[in-house]
Amino acid sequence: MLDLRSQEWLEPFLLSVGALIVALLLFGAFMMLQGIPPLELYSALYIGSFGTRISIENSLTLAAPILLAALCTLIAARVGLLVMGGEGAIVLGGLGAVLVGVALPLSSPLLGSLLCLLAGALFGGLWIAMAGGLKRVRGVNETISTLLLNYIAIAILNHLISGPIRDFSQTLKAQSWSIPSYFMMPNIPGWSVHWGILIGILVCVLLHVLLRHTTFGFSMDVVGGNNRAAQMAGLPITSIVVISCFLGGAAAGLAGAIEVVAVHGAASESLVVGFGYTGILVAFLARQKPLAVIFFALLMGGIAASGGLLQRRFDVPYAATAVLQGMIFLCVLASSALSGRILPERKSK
C-alpha cells in the first residue's frame, strides 16, 4: 500500500520540478533567438553551477543567503502571511552585525562572530516582526508593508554608510566601518566556501523540527489554515503571528550578517543584490517545506553562479540568469493551477 503521506509530498515536488524543466526549455528557446545553441547553453549552465569544483564552491557561497532569505517568506507563509521583506531584513541583519562587531570590546574570534550573527538575526527579526504586529493590531497588509520596509531598510543603509558610520578611508565605494578582521568567519577547511551554507542547512533542519514536531509549529499550521478555528481553540494568534514573523526575519537577518561576517567585513550596497527576492522564489518552489528549501536554494545558487560563465562564453549580459529566474517564477506560479490534478484523487468514500 502506498503511504498517503508520501503522496502528499510527491505532488508538490513533481509540480516544482516540472515547472523548473519548462522554465529551462523556455530559457533555451529565448537564448536560441539570440543565436546561442541550446545544448551549449545547458552545458554551460551545468559547468558554471555544478560542473567544476570552483563552480560548486561559488554555488554554495551564493546558495547560503538565498536559503536563509527563503525562510523569511516560508515561515510567515505557514501562518498565512505573504511576506516579501527578505531583502530589507538582510540589510538590517548586515547593519546589526556591523554595529555589534565594531562596538564589541572582545578579542575572542568565535564569540565575536557569533555575537555579530546573533545581532543580525535580532535586527532582521524585529524588522519583520514589526510588519506582523502591524498586520495583527492595525490590519496593515503585510505584503505591501514588507515590500515598503525593503525600501526603508535600503534608505537607512544608504544614509548610515554615506555619513554616520562611513569608513572614509575607503574612497572608491561608500561602505561602513569594518568589523575587526579576527571576527571574520573562516572557510570550511579544505574548501573555499564559508560556513554560511552549513549554518543555513542547520537552520532548515531545526525549522523542520519546529514546524513538524512542536506544539508551536502545530499552532502555526492551525493559524495559517483557518484563523477562526484558531480563535475557537483559544490560540494566542497575535503572539504566534508575531513570533513567526520574528523567526522569518531572523533567518534573513542572519543571511545579511553572514554576508558581512564571512564575505564583505562591512555593510555596503553589496548587501542589496536581490538575495531576498530570489529567496521568495525559492520559498514558492519549495512550497513552504523547509527541507525542500535546501534543494531549491542550491539550485538557484547554481543558476546565479553560472551567470559569469554565460557572460564570458556567449557574450550575454550577466542579467541573463535573472531572465531564467523570472521564467522559473512564472512557471511555478502557473503550475499551482495544476495542483490537485496530476495525481489520482484521494477522496475517501
Residues that bind another protein (CB under 8 A): 4-5, 8, 212-218, 221-222, 225-226, 228-229, 231-236, 346-349
8 A C-beta contact, residue 71 and residue 65 = no
Cβ 254 to another protein, closest distance in Å? 23
Is 198 or 343 the residue whose CB approaches another protein more closely? 343
Q: For residue 98, give every residue at least 6 positions away whose Cβ sits within 8 Å of its Cβ, in sequence order, or none.
A: 116, 165, 176, 177, 179, 260, 266, 267
d(CA 178, CA 298): 29
Cβ 207 to another protein, closest distance in Å? 14
8 A C-beta contact, residue 300 and residue 66 = yes
Q: Is 258 helix (H, G, I), strand (E, B) or coil?
A: helix
Is 31 or 81 the residue whose CB approaches another protein more closely? 81
Torsions phi, psi for 189 (to 5 deg): -55, 130
Cβ 209 to another protein, closest distance in Å? 9
Is 180 or 217 the residue whose CB approaches another protein more closely? 217
Cβ 179 to another protein, closest distance in Å? 35
Judging by beta carbons within 10 Å of its beta carbon (0-12, 13-18, 19+), is residue 191 exposed, middle or buried?
middle
Cβ 288 to another protein, closest distance in Å? 11
Q: Which three cell numbers stand for residue 230?
A: 484558531
d(CA 140, CA 134): 6
Q: Is 175 helix (H, G, I), strand (E, B) or coil?
A: strand
Q: How many CA atoms lie within 13 A of 5 on its CB side?
A: 0
d(CA 314, CA 300): 20
Is 14 or 22 the residue whose CB approaches another protein more closely? 14
d(CA 144, CA 261): 30
Cβ 121 to another protein, closest distance in Å? 21
Is 171 or 348 the residue whose CB approaches another protein more closely? 348
Is 5 or 138 the residue whose CB approaches another protein more closely? 5
Cβ 342 to another protein, closest distance in Å? 16
Cβ 103 to another protein, closest distance in Å? 34
Is 4 or 33 the residue whose CB approaches another protein more closely? 4
CA proximity to 277, closest of 141, 134, 27, 89: 89
Helix (H) or strand (E) holding 55: helix 53-78
Is 13 or 42 the residue whose CB approaches another protein more closely? 13
